[in-house]
Amino acid sequence: MLRDKNLVPLSRQHQHALALCVRLDRALLAGDVDGEAWSEEIRQIFALEVATHFAAEEKVVFPAAVAFPNLHPLVEELLAEHFNLRDLFTRATTSTLDVNSLRSFVDQLSSHIRKEERQLFEGLQQVMTATEFTRVGKALEEALAVASTACISPNEATRLRPRS
């Protein structure tokens, strides 16, 4: 299903986070992990985008979704996942994540994003009216306006390298 234009800003941010997950997953599989460098990149993406993203979902999207009884359990699940993910982001802020924590981060974040895209967003598109989506879109625009437009560039330790 094509994504409603009012949810596209969140989907773009999901793509940014999934790209981080893919790069980190490849580094973990290759056994080439600099925990300090990855923790720093995770700190940056949280500060520049994810914190505002979570807040926008919690302030705008989740309340809109709980108006539909079939989506209420999913929203509760996603809120719990936000709590767990915030803990991982906080741990990256206060210390260097080890390999197991980085693996957990990749698994939890990628699973969470896919759940939002495939279940929440798809579910909303099946039940919300165009007028409701317009209201959500305007509220999201305001909530996301505080997010930085900066782009996080991988550093030398987190950049993918061609296989030899």
The two three-digit tokens of residue 97, written as one number: 């994540």
pLDDT above 60 for 29: yes
In terms of Cβ atoms closer than 10 Å to its own Cβ (0-12, 13-18, 19+), residue 147 is middle
- Assess contact for 143 and 59: CB atoms under 8 A: yes
Place of tokens 């705008």: 60
Q: Give the closest residue to 100 by CA, choosing from 88, 112, 90, 117.
A: 88
pLDDT above 50 for 164: no
Domains in the chain, start-ordered, CATH in brackets? 8-144 (1.20.120.520)
Instruction: State the first-to-last Cα distance of the chain, in angstroms, to the nearest integer.
Output: 39
Q: pTM for this one?
A: 0.86
Tens digit of pLDDT for each residue in 58-90? Answer: 999 999 999 999 999 999 999 999 999 999 899
- Residue 46 exposure: Cα atoms within 13 Å on the Cβ side: 19
pLDDT above 70 for 150: no
